[in-house]
Amino acid sequence: MSRDSLFLLGFVALFAVVNVALIGTGRLAADWAGFGTILAAGLTLALYSFLYRDNPLFKLAEHLYVGVVAAYELTQVWYQNILADVINPLFRGGDEGPRWVVLIPTALGLMLFTRLIHKGVWLSRLSFAFIVGLGAGLAIPRRISSFVLQQIEPSLRPLWTDSIGWGTLDTVVILVGVVSVLVYFSFSLEHTGAVGRVSTVGIWFLMVSFGASFGYTVMARLSLLIGRVTFLMEDWLTLNPPLF
């Protein structure tokens, strides 16, 4: 038996012993809620076992996750979209009768499945054309307005206001940052002399930005670890860690 197999068997055996002890001492209820907690704890540990190396337990948890998510999403879409927005308006319209207009988006949606039929693939292009046309028509003006025009205004505020304070400093930092980063990304200009010096300032701004983003990323990943460790300690091992 390989070292990896022994490690996995040991891990599973230890997990089983801990759970038997938890149920035996009454710290975990021997019901469906307790089983759910054990399953969640087992899957959490199985996924973290990837830190050792890729292994069958990790694969099992990964595949289980994909399957559960697919089934969960299908049920949500079925009840809240297909049933509520297609089947009910067509067949259970009540006094108002069937809403035939629903057939148009339904047909466009069904036509996407013709990608699976070689001879009927041209039908799916009609749906894709509709999606692309609608998406572009909606997105281009909305995004230009929200993410370009609305962002230009706060970048072009007057430097000197009635009272010079932190607000003025912020405006100066934004001005220098925007101009220097734009110069850095002007690759049609040779980065020598004054242009080179300004683009170096731009690199510094980018580095500070990347540093801030990385700091936030570390914080986010640690938060996820804290969430899982809290679950394992509080809900599974019932160590009841102090809240404050």
**Amino acid symbol at 192:** T
Q: Tell the smallest beta-carbon distance from residue 135 to other proteins (Å).
A: 9
Q: SS3 breakdown of the chain: % helix, strand, coil, rounded to 5?
A: 80, 0, 20
Q: Does 224 bind other proteins (CB under 8 A)?
A: yes
Distance CA 29, CA 37 (A): 9
Residues 6+ apart with CB under 8 A from 42: 15
Q: Does 239 bind other proteins (CB under 8 A)?
A: yes
Kindly report the number of other CB atoms within 10 A of residue 236's CB atom: 21
Is 226 a binder of other proteins (CB under 8 A)?
A: yes
Decide: is 229 part of the binding site for other proteins (CB under 8 A). yes
Residues 147-166 within binding reach of other proteins (CB under 8 A): 147, 150-151, 153-154
Report the nearest approach of other proteins to the CB of residue 83 (Å). 11
Minimum distance from CB of 16 to other proteins (Å)?
Answer: 22
The residue count for binding other proteins (CB under 8 A) is 44
Q: Which tokens go with 208?
A: 């500070």
Instruction: Tell me, rounded to whole angstroms, the distance of Cα 21 from its chain centroid.
Output: 37
Considering only the stretches 24-32, 56-64, 183-191, 206-214, report the one whose residues sit in contact with other proteins under the rule CB under 8 A: 206-214
Q: Is 218 in the site for other proteins (CB under 8 A)?
A: yes
- Between CA 19 and CA 13 the distance in angstroms is 10
The CA-based dihedral angle spanning residues 88, 94, 100, 101, taken in that order and rounded to the nearest 10 degrees? -70
On the 0-12 / 13-18 / 19+ scale of CB atoms within 10 A, 79 is exposed
Q: Does 243 bind other proteins (CB under 8 A)?
A: yes
The only residue of 143, 196, 197, 238 in contact with other proteins, by rule CB under 8 A: 143
Interface residue list for other proteins (CB under 8 A): 69, 72-73, 76-77, 80-81, 84-85, 138-139, 142-143, 145-147, 150-151, 153-154, 209, 212-213, 216-230, 233, 239, 241-244
